[in-house]
């Protein structure tokens, strides 16, 4: 599993000219699912994501979590996080999980996040999406190999 986490002032996902999900201050998370991923792995990644202290406190230190700042989540499935460019110039996606597994785990992550975060927005699995964001920092973290 891979999470690309961006601390944002705002972010949105548009599908076919319609906004599918949008947030203000919070985290935009691009989620990639690998072939061997499980719900247990998803739980581990979500726990780490929600516990990350990457928002600034009153002293300007990154010491606060998403919950501490009342932040929002925008979760977007992105299989291209598993692109391998080791050979040639055309990326290979053989390490990505099947669409069925990826959708199942993505939806699981969304359900679990909604139990813990008041506002969770999403893209649309498998759709062509346009993602717009204002990255706050810039601040981007890659979670993998947990």
Query: In sequence order, what E strands does the chain have?
Result: 2-15, 18-23, 26-32, 55-56, 62-64, 72-77, 120-122, 130-144
The one catalytic residue in 3, 6, 79, 122 is: 79
Active-site annotation holds for 80: yes
Active-site annotation holds for 79: yes
| Cα(62)–Cα(64) distance, integer angstroms | 6
Q: Is the dihedral of CA 45, 46, 50, 51 positive or negative?
A: negative
| Cα(55)–Cα(137) distance, integer angstroms | 10
Active-site annotation holds for 62: no
The one catalytic residue in 6, 55, 78, 122 is: 78
The one catalytic residue in 35, 38, 62, 80 is: 80
Alpha helices in 72-141 (DSSP H): 99-114
So which residues are the catalytic ones? 78-80
């Amino acid at each position: 599993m891979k999470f690309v986490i961006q601390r944002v002032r705002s972010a949105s996902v548009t599908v076919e000219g319609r906004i599918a999900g949008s947030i203000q201050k919070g985290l935009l998370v691009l989620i990639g699912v690998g072939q061997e991923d499980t719900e247990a792995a998803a739980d581990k990644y979500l726990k780490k994501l929600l516990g990350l202290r990457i928002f600034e406190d009153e002293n300007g230190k990154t010491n606060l979590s998403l919950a501490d700042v009342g932040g929002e989540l925008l979760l977007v499935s992105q299989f291209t996080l598993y692109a391998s460019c080791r050979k040639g110039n055309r990326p290979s996606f053989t390490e990505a999980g099947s669409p069925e597994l990826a959708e199942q785990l993505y939806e699981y992550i969304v359900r679990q996040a909604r139990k813990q975060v008041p506002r969770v927005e999403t893209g649309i699995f498998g759709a062509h999406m346009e993602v717009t964001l204002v990255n706050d920092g810039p601040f981007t973290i890659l979670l993998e190999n947990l």
